[in-house]
Structure 1
């Protein structure tokens, strides 16, 4: 076992990630996930804006390591999520890597969301509504575009961000809507990625969708979809135990839908609260590829 720890900053992480490979690795892990590992989301609100959070333990079949992720969330900052993933060896616990987690978290969420969205909307090739064009919404839209192409209708309260995403997707493949309600009504499926505590659209507008991927309802108080819409939809979650404090409605594990163990009824909703499992898969992918290419900086923290 190495005694040094590999330090991987954002530019190194970006350089080594293979998005196609990582998408399949994340999707495969989610298909097999049954809630093992007792994932924990420890949250402490430090102020109206700032939340400290720890996700642990990140465990995945076939990965001889686990992760602990520590990050700060501040929607008012120029970068809302900042933190580190710690990758530890199993069974010994040696610290293999310290990985910048802001960009990687957005990517692992986006790639997983694109994998699920593609599976649950394979019958529905219509326009995809993107509500929220910040870092997470942009990463998810680009992941969907790479995976399946298609047309996008974008809304963000900051029109500059919506226009930037339209340009990134290609003006021929994306429109900017004047409101989130209009974006939903123009789409057959949607992705919501906001910090909102109010629904992005009315239930009548949302009823026209086949599927909604929800990325912003990751802690109590956030409410991107109205409760009456959730009551009529088939709601899936990464892990129902993690979303139980967030919504009152009963949710099913998304793995059941991906394995087709449970019939998928429309409209369907996937609440992607985020799993430590995804951190483990992403961190191991980055670590393996960094080691193979000689990237990163080795440090012995023991001095």
Structure 2
């Protein structure tokens, strides 16, 4: 198609840093956003999230109904992923792996499938044509009017090229946005490219890490952060406060790490396709497949590591050792 003269224009490079609403529950769509008073915007990232959830639930029920003693096909792949990650988590914390393994494994599978599905052709490029917001349309019209007097010659050249068949704008395709005050809103968007999704997972992961810490150590879990300067010195007290700050900042780090990589990958692919849509994007697609996998792994692995650290008491002792010592003291 590229060598036949089909070209993308700058208007085809619309990439939104925020998920766009498909419809507004309790409101209406006004430009790119929902009207004031909207109860809940149903975005393309939410639709993709529900699709990934449906796929994962379908896989779980499908494999569960046809379990084989000697796994084959897709069951073999899923069992390999779960067993490989379980062995890793068991190596990090053998005593507590059964307690917190389900959460990081769920996080890994969700982001793995979500990130991979985002690379399927059509995701992010098939959607509904929607007009700009009123003020944006006004600014666009004003700009076009100001440039109209100087762009007559360029327009005539473009018309000649179009008529000769050397360059065909993708906007002329049936069903494509004409870009005249319109914008294409995709039906599907990578869940990790929406900060709402990544922040939600980050909050759940950090909350559960703190929950497991209190469950294992009780109120003594706070001893990691609030250290008595009279016993361990001012330096260790400051270190404890820095640890508390780092616990809170994990939410931001979790959320922005995977968001930045996935959204950045979308931008890179769009730019490469715009520059030369034939063959040039292929190495970058391969890179994005690797990034999609490794970011899911990093999110899950960090959850396992943080959970293992949370159940360790200040000084490196485990909560089980403390409870055992307490039982021995009671016996004496």
Asked if TM exceeds 0.5, the reply is no
Greater per-residue helix proportion: 2
Q: State the TM-score, normalized to the length of structure 1.
A: 0.22
Structure with higher RCO (Cα < 8 A, 6+ apart): 2
Larger strand proportion, structure 1 or 2?
1
TM-score (norm 2): 0.21
Max Rg structure: 2
